[in-house]
Amino acid sequence: MENHMMQNLIIPSDLMEEILSRLPVKSLLRFRCVSKSWFMLINSTFFVHKHVNNQKNNKNNLRLMLPSKNVIILDCERFDDDEIQIKYPLLHKPKVWGSCNGLLCVINDENTICIWNPATRKCNILPNTCLEDLPKNWYTVYGFGYSEIVRDYEVIEIISFDEKTQNQHVDVRIRPSEVAIYSLRSKLWRRIQDIPYKIRNKMGVLVNGALHWQATQSSAGSLYSCELVIAFDIAGEKFREVPQPCFQKENLQGVNVAMLEGKLCAVYDYGYKPNVELWVMNNYGARESWIKLYKIKEK
Residue 68 has pLDDT above 50, yes or no: yes
Q: What does DSSP say about strands 188-195 and 197-199: parallel, antiparallel, or unpaired?
A: unpaired
Residue pair 224/203 in contact (Cβ under 8 Å)? The answer is no
Residue 65 has pLDDT above 50, yes or no: yes
pLDDT digits (tens, 9 = 90+) for 206-236: 999 999 999 887 555 444 456 889 999 999 9
Which residues are paired to 251 by β-bridges?
A: none
pLDDT attached to residue 223: 46
Distance of CA 159 to the CA centre of its chain: 17
Residue 198 has pLDDT above 60, yes or no: yes
Q: Of 4-13, 16-25, 155-164, which gets the smallest average pLDDT?
A: 4-13
Residue ranges of E strands in the chain: 63-67, 71-75, 84-86, 95-100, 103-107, 113-117, 122-125, 138-147, 152-161, 177-183, 188-195, 197-199, 205-207, 210-217, 227-233, 238-241, 254-260, 263-269, 275-281, 290-297
Rounded Cα gap, residues 126 and 289, in angstroms:
39
Degrees to nearest 5, angle at CA 257 with 255 and 155:
125
Average pLDDT of 239-243? 94
- Reduced to 3 states (helix: H, G, I; strand: E, B; else coil), residue 209 is coil
Rounded Cα gap, residues 97 and 102, in angstroms:
13
Rounded Cα gap, residues 266 and 33, in angstroms:
47
Residue type, 95: K
- Tell me the C-alpha to C-alpha distance, in Å, between residue 50 and each of 32, 53, 56: 16, 5, 10
Compare 94 and 172 and report the one with higher pLDDT.
Answer: 94
- Reduced to 3 states (helix: H, G, I; strand: E, B; else coil), residue 14 is helix
Compare 147 and 67 and report the one with higher pLDDT.
Answer: 147
Residue 257 has pLDDT above 50, yes or no: yes
Rounded Cα gap, residues 76 and 64, in angstroms:
6
Residue 240 has pLDDT above 80, yes or no: yes
**Among candidates 192, 176, 36, 208, which has minimal Cα distance to 129?**
192
Query: Which H/E stretch holds residue 27?
Result: helix 25-31
Distance of CA 102 to the CA centre of its chain: 10
